[in-house]
Amino acid sequence: MDFVTFQRAFQESGVIELHEVQKEFPDFHARRLSDWQAKNYIQKIINRFYRWTDQPLTEQLAFYTANRIYRDSYISLWSALSYYGLIPEGVYQTYSVSTHKTKSFSTPIGEWVYKHIKPTLFFGYRIERWNNKPLLIAEPEKALLDTIYLNTQWHNTTDIDALRINWAILAEIAQPNIIREYAEFYCNQRITELAHYLIQRMSDD
């Protein structure tokens, strides 16, 4: 196969997956990808996943890539909190939660970290669009609860205050009843108590 044919078929793909290429072109030889890497047409992310080298490395592309390279995951934790403007710090890794095992990938274009959650907690995400492609990211309420849940060393309100949450933004984009409802699914007294504190601070501020 020549590169022009390949490019026409996948030019709208933010992430190129070898499985999809071989599905579209059953006689495709993976060695062609090595040739095109050498010519700087494409760049390898991890095994079986590639990107166009001339595509800007945006936050949306990082999020979409995170969704693609580790299935059954959605953006959450520090990445989602930063995306919504709820914490002041910039986040240089892309954090997700997944029903699969905890895993991380260090690649030439970034680092992706996945934290395991139980299948019963795989909810509370929204589907946004990036270049007409679905991008899964936690709702603000769920991003906060996922973060508290997975940081098991957090036990009191001082730990929550250390997050330096922008309470004004949280009150604007989140709903107390959603926090309360979602917290019940964790079946965890620590989560329930800290969720109550979130709700209290939202009303105080």
Angle at 134 between CA 128 and CA 135, to 5 degrees: 60
Q: Chain-wide mean pLDDT for the chain?
A: 94
Instruction: Mark out the alpha helices in 47-175 (DSSP H runs).
Output: 59-69, 77-83, 140-150, 157-161, 167-173
Vertex 5 angle, CA 61 and 13, to 5°: 15
Report the pLDDT value the prediction gives residue 36, as an integer from 0 to 100: 96
* pLDDT score of 130 more than 90: no
On whether the CB atoms of residues 87 and 166 are closer than 8 A, the answer is: yes
Residue 148: count other Cβ atoms within 10 Å of its Cβ: 22
Question: Residue 162: what pLDDT?
Answer: 93
What are the sequence ranges of the domains in the chain? 3-52, 59-204
pLDDT value at residue 205: 61
What pLDDT score does 65 carry? 95
pLDDT at 35: 95
State residue 195's pLDDT score.
97
pLDDT for 203: 84
Give the model confidence (pLDDT) of 82-123 as tens digits: 999 999 988 889 999 999 999 999 998 899 999 999 999 999
pLDDT in tens, 164-177: 999 999 999 999 99
Rounded distance between C-alpha atoms, residue 28 and residue 90, angstroms: 41
pTM: 0.93
Which one-letter amino acid corresponds to residue 44?
K
